């Protein structure tokens, strides 16, 4: 009996010892759990702080991007305004039969530099619009082979004046694509300018149009300085520049714009070069349209210059207004001018213009949008062809102009060729 009691007491002591050990382990586990919970709470707080900080950074970057876009838009507007009267004046001088060859050459220099400045401004805004998904195309059925030949002829004089030759190999049969002709001509122009920049005097540029199954590929090749594989890998990056023989200035945006515009058309672009000193080839491919043959018939030929029109020019910058008046009158049009919005309505009621060229950012109470809206409400003037000529190139400006009643939206400085084509198109549409 005593032995049994001793065994029970020993078991009881052992059980009590195990209980104490278990209690200690439980206390340690609770302490560890408490520490872990504190660490978890601290980690969650750090995550909240990081998320808040990241969100603030994102908001800051978005605000900076908006401020940058607004600044670029205003900068382009302010720089385009002085370019407009310069281009108008040069085009007026061309029509005055100036005999002094030095004056002719100076006029050509001014015109080239105005065109270069306008090209850089357009590129700066377009690359921002592409990056933010704001650039909109105005696509239509077009013959890419014909567009290639037309653009090449437009650039032939510039290319040859740089001591280069330009060859074009394009099929006679049409190659129909769905594209924005203005933007595709911009692609051609940028590729040709790039080839000119990196090809020394005496070199050659060749444009080749090739149908490859369901796509059409345009190749712009030159005999210039060529590229290394490292350069090919980054040649389409924005603001990347290399020094070429022509030393033409630029912002390093031309090829980035080519890539962005081609991709917006559903196409692809690539650069090829055998190496330094062996020339370069830039290729872009677009999908061909699959339409019935009768859909390819061309219903409208090239637009002929418009006949004499009654045109009202509205712009608060007198240099722009007066030079544009001289230019249009030299082209045979009857022109009235106004320097502010409210006065423009009075002039319009007396003059009854067939076309109105109106700036958007007028200095008085009525801006260009208000002028267009008022003209559209007037039973006599509502059929006039309204053309916005402005320094604002962003998509929102075009949409607002369209909503106000403008038929067309042109950027300063406008060439006479563009203006003549737009006036002719408006006359044909009436």
Interval 265-301: pLDDT, tens: 999 999 999 999 999 999 999 999 865 444 434 433 3
Q: What percent of the chain has pLDDT over 70?
A: 84
Q: Is the dihedral of CA 57, 77, 158, 419 positive or negative?
A: positive
pLDDT in tens, 143-175: 999 999 988 988 888 899 889 999 999 888 889
Fold of 310-429: Rossmann fold (3.40.50)
Q: Is the pLDDT higher at 423 or at 107?
A: 423
Q: Which pLDDT value is given to residue 295?
A: 46
Q: How confident is the model at residue 80 (pLDDT cuts 50, 70, 90)?
A: confident
Q: What percent of the chain has pLDDT over 90?
A: 32
Any bridge partners for residue 206, and if so which? 167, 221
Position 305 pLDDT exceeds 80? no
CATH 3.30.565.10 location in the chain? 140-296
Q: Which pLDDT value is given to residue 89?
A: 81
pLDDT in tens, 383-393: 999 999 988 76
For the chain, give the secondary structure using H, E and C. Answer: CHHHHHHHHHHHHHHHHHHHHHHHHHHHHHHHHHHHHHHHHHHHHHHHHHHHHHHHHHHHHHHHHHHHHHHHHHHHHHHHHHHHHHHHHHHHHHCCCCCCHHHHHHHHHHHHHHHHHHHHHHHHHHHHHHHCCCCCCCCEEEEHHHHHHHHHHHHHHHHHHCCCEEEEECCCCCCEEEECHHHHHHHHHHHHHHHHHCCCCCCEEEEEEEEECCEEEEEEEECCCCCCHHHHHHCCCCCCCCCCCCCCCCCCCHHHHHHHHHHHCCCEEEEECCCCCCCEEEEEEEECCCCCHHHHCCCCCCCCCCCCCEEEEECCCHHHHHHHHHHHHHCCCEEEEECCHHHHHHHHHHHCCCEEEECCCCCCCCCHHHHHHHHHHCCCCCCCEEEEEECCCCHHHHHHHHHHCCCEEEECCCCHHHHHHHHHHHHHHC
Q: How confident is the model at residue 205 (pLDDT cuts 50, 70, 90)?
A: very high
Q: Is the pLDDT higher at 23 or at 321?
A: 321
CATH 3.40.50.2300 location in the chain? 310-429
pLDDT in tens, 332-370: 899 999 999 888 999 999 999 999 999 988 877 789 999
pTM: 0.52
**Could you tell me which of 358, 333, 355, 337 has the C-alpha nearest to residue 346?**
337
CATH 3.30.565.10 fits 140-296, yes or no: yes
Position 136 pLDDT exceeds 50? yes
Tell me the average pLDDT across 405-422. 85
Mean pLDDT across the chain, nearest whole number? 82
DSSP 3-state of 252: coil
pLDDT in tens, 220-266: 999 999 999 988 988 888 766 665 554 455 556 788 889 989 998 99
Q: Which pLDDT value is given to residue 398?
A: 82
Q: What angle do CA 396, 336, 321 make, to 5 degrees?
A: 55
């Amino acid at each position: 009996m005593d032995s049994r009691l001793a065994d029970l007491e020993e078991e009881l002591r052992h059980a009590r010892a195990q209980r104490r050990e278990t209690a200690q382990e439980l206390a340690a586990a609770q302490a560890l759990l408490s520490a872990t919970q504190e660490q978890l709470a601290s980690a969650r707080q750090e995550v909240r702080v990081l998320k808040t900080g990241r969100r603030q950074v994102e908001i800051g970057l978005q605000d900076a991007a908006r401020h940058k876009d607004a600044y670029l838009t205003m900068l382009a507007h302010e720089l385009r305004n002085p370019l407009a009267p310069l281009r108008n004046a040069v085009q007026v001088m061309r029509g005055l039969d100036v005999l002094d060859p030095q004056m002719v050459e100076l006029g050509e220099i001014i015109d080239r530099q105005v065109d270069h400045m306008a090209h850089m401004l357009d590129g700066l805004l377009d690359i921002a619009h592409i990056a933010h998904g704001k650039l909109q195309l105005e696509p239509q059925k077009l013959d890419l082979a014909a567009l290639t030949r037309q653009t090449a002829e437009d650039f032939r004089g510039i290319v040859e004046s740089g001591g280069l030759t330009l060859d074009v190999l394009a099929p006679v049969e049409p190659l129909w694509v769905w594209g924005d002709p203005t933007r595709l001509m911009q692609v051609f122009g940028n590729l040709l300018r790039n080839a000119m920049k990196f090809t020394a005097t005496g070199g050659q540029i060749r444009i080749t149009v090739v149908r490859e199954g369901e796509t059409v590929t345009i190749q712009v090749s030159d005999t210039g300085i060529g590229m290394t594989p490292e350069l090919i890998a980054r040649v389409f990056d924005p603001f990347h520049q290399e020094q070429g023989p022509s030393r033409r200035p630029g912002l390093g945006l031309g090829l980035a714009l080519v890539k962005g515009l081609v991709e917006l058309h559903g196409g692809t672009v690539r650069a090829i070069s055998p190496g330094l000193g062996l020339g370069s080839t830039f290729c872009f491919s677009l999908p061909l349209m699959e339409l019935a043959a009768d859909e390819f018939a061309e219903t409208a030929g090239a637009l002929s210059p418009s006949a004499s029109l009654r045109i009202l020019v509205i712009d608060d910058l007198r240099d722009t207004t007066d030079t544009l008046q001289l230019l249009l009158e030299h082209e045979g049009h009857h022109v009235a001018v106004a320097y502010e919005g409210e006065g423009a309505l009075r002039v319009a009621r007396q003059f009854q213009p067939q076309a109105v060229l109106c700036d958007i950012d007028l200095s008085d109470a009525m801006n260009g949008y208000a002028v267009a809206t008022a003209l559209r409400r007037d039973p006599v003037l509502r059929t006039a062809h309204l053309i916005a000529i402005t320094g604002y190139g962003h998509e929102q400006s075009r949409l607002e102009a369209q909503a106000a009643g403008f038929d067309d939206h042109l950027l300063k400085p406008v060439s006479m060729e563009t203006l003549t084509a737009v006036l002719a198109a408006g006359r044909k549409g009436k």
